[in-house]
Amino acid sequence: MDFRILRRMAHFLAVAEEGHFGRAAARLGLSQPPLSAQIQALEAELGVKLLERTRKGARPTREGEALLPGIRRLAEDAKQVEALARELRAGRQLPMALACVTSALFDFLPPLVRALRDARPDAAIGVQEMDTADAVEALRRGEVDFALARLDRDRPPLRVLPLGEDALVAALPEGHALLGRPGEPAAPLPLSALAQEPLMLLPRSISPAYFDRQVSACRAAGFEPVAVREVSSAMAQLAFVAAGLGVALVSSGMAVLRPPGVGFRGLAGPVASVGVALVWHAERESEAARLAVQVARRVFPHSAGGAIPAA
């Protein structure tokens, strides 16, 4: 592979994100002429014009916009390769590739990774943030050894070890009437109270089981949820809620983040969600996957189901 093209793609990505050659050059630690030259070389290699200059800076062309998602994925993959290479240079010998959903990054990922390090100090652990659908495909393609994802049952050849129960909570903009008065204890909120609220929903394609559980809960509460906006991640849900654009149903684990501008209310019932599970490919069990399942059973005592692969 010609790694120069990856570097040039990173340069294009910086300009597209900054909207300005000068700011992108400062971010990359370059002067503008070399940056412009790298972009021109990339355009020549790809055979399309990627950027156009405007009075305010620069913006991607139609062709550049079409290529941006793929270039972002390549940039993320390159970062993962670099991170794993650093681990291997440090003398770690057991590569572990792990996919993790956003909502598991804070309460499930840290204890699992720390326990894996304790069990195998020579483990070179690479973590990629993915939604559940992408994590499932990465497992099927053999790109990761195991995943922390939101699945509720085995999907052969994928095996699922639930790590604990989870519940939905309502995320509401700061000052919303449903949050009650500051300082006063709030009783659990009936889910039906959100019937007329604009909802920020994750698309079903990201995690069908998680989405279906939310829809079923809303229907049981007497209303059909209608998304005012579909967003790509749980963090984006919270950001839009903080901006006052609507409300969201999120995993209770997201409440520990306490993002500014967002308040949380527990739901009466409570309303069960699809919890985080450790997922692995039963027909392609690596040493890393076997160790992860054994460690997860010890770290998460409420885990259930999912036979431990043979050592």
pLDDT in tens, 94-117: 788 899 998 898 889 999 999 999
In-domain check, residue 210 = yes
Cα 147 from Cα 152, distance rounded (Å): 14
Whether the per-residue pLDDT at 78 is higher than 80: the answer is: no
In-domain check, residue 308 = no
Q: Where among 48, 77, 106 does a domain terminate?
A: 77
In-domain check, residue 118 = yes
Domain that holds residue 44: 3-77
pLDDT band for position 122 (cuts 50, 70, 90): confident
pLDDT band for position 166 (cuts 50, 70, 90): confident
In-domain check, residue 159 = yes
Instruction: Domain count for the chain, please give it.
Output: 3
pLDDT band for position 3 (cuts 50, 70, 90): low
Residue 149: CB partners within 8 Å, gap ≥ 6?
A: 99, 100, 101, 104, 130, 132, 135, 136, 207, 276, 277, 279
Structure tokens at 272: 């069960």
Structure tokens at 170: 């309502």
Domain shared by 160 and 176, yes or no: no
Whether the per-residue pLDDT at 13 is higher than 50: the answer is: yes
Cα 98 from Cα 126, distance rounded (Å): 6
State the pLDDT at residue 310. Answer: 36
pTM for this prediction: 0.67
Cα 96 from Cα 78, distance rounded (Å): 16
CATH number of the domain that 106 lies in? 3.40.190.10
Distances in Å between the alpha carbon of 143 and those of 82, 138, 150? 16, 5, 18
In-domain check, residue 157 = yes
In-domain check, residue 191 = yes
pLDDT band for position 307 (cuts 50, 70, 90): very low
Task: With beta carbons less than 8 A apart as the criterion, state whether 91 and 64 touch.
Answer: no
Domain shared by 195 and 239, yes or no: yes
Domain shared by 234 and 108, yes or no: no
Which of 296, 308, 267 lies closest to 112 in space, CA to CA? Answer: 296
In-domain check, residue 100 = yes
Average pLDDT over residues 25-32: 88
In-domain check, residue 114 = yes
Domain shared by 210 and 159, yes or no: no
